[in-house]
Amino acid sequence: MRTPIILLFLLSGICSLQTQAQQVVFQQELTGEVFPIGHLLRWQTSFEAPGAQFVLEKSSDGLNFQEISQLAGKGGSSIQNDYQFLAPDVVEAVNFYRLRVQVSNHTPVYSSIITMKNKTANQFAILRYSDILPTASFGVEVQGRARGFLQWQIRHLNQPVEDSGQWLMDYGINDYSLDLTSLPEGPYQLSLQFGEEKESLTIRKVSEATLKTMTAGSDALPTNRR
């Protein structure tokens, strides 16, 4: 009778070791979805050991990964837990992500690597701009997601008057100012273009006297509408 008892203890020990080794059980492994503003990463767990922590890592070549975020686990739970993280302003055309699971005094465990490709260019975005009723200059703030020249064109909507040029754009926030002093009053369309991507704004140049008349009331002019 001793042999079956010994085997039972051995089997119990093996099962216990397997349970301890598996610190996290995934209901759904790391997945991702591409949006214009970034990559939305999701995963689900059905079991987590106490102290579990999730570290998201990103790579542009699939070999060298860098940490982009840490999310604390639910801690000793055996129910389904949902996680998500938005990686914003992803510039590279092809991106690789993986999940590193860390538990104190245990060797980190890595998920499978997923590949995500940007579907749209989104090389720049207009963040905000100055008054839509400028008198002498018009300011616009652009978020650059590439490096190069941003083409601009301003065109009067009622007269054959237009002007154009280019600004140097870099990654991050770019502040530009357009001189309107030589242009007549009236409505204009300002177009910004980088490669095939294009955005437009409609503004109206007014004189100082007209502006004072329009602002004589209590309503403030609209500013920073975007």
Tell me how far apart the alpha carbons of residues 120 and 127 are, in angstroms, rounded to a whole number: 18
- Structural contact between residues 178 and 142, judged by C-beta atoms closer than 8 angstroms: no
Query: Distance between CA 120 and CA 89 in Å, rounded?
Result: 12
Residue-wise pLDDT for 26-82, tens only, equals 878 899 998 877 889 999 888 888 888 899 999 988 889 999 999 888 876 677 888
Q: What is the pLDDT of residue 77?
A: 63
Whether 22-117 and 124-214 share one fold: the answer is: yes
Tell whether the model's pLDDT for residue 199 goes beyond 50. yes
Domain extent listing, the chain: 22-117, 124-214
Q: For the domain 22-117, what is the CATH code?
A: 2.60.40.10
Domain 124-214: CATH architecture, name and number where available? Sandwich (2.60)
What per-residue confidence (pLDDT) applies to 35? Answer: 80
Torsion angle defined by CA atoms of residues 213, 214, 215 and 216, in that order, rounded to the nearest 10 degrees: 50
Q: What are phi and psi of 128, to 5 degrees?
A: -160, 165
